[in-house]
């Protein structure tokens, strides 16, 4: 198990806010997260 955090946008080098948390416990959750 591990946790992924993501942001709403990409390409901004100043972005340091990752408000979306996904706990990956299996392959299906990993597919949903990426």
Domain borders along the chain are 2-33
Which residues have CB under 8 Å from 2's CB, separation 6+?
Answer: 23, 24
- pLDDT at position 8, please? 87
Query: What integer pLDDT is reported at residue 23 of this predicted model?
Result: 94
Residue whose entry in the numeric block shows the structure tokens 């955090």: 5
- pLDDT tens digit sequence for 1-34: 999 999 988 888 888 899 999 999 999 989 888 8
pTM, to two decimals:
0.63
Element holding 6 (H helix, E strand)? strand 2-6
pLDDT at position 14, please? 86
What pLDDT, on a 0 to 100 scale, did the predictor assign at position 15?
Answer: 86
Place of tokens 């416990």: 25
């Amino acid at each position: 198990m591990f946790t992924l955090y993501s942001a709403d946008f990409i390409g901004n080098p100043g972005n340091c806010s990752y408000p979306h948390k996904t706990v990956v416990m299996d392959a299906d959750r990993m597919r949903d997260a990426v």
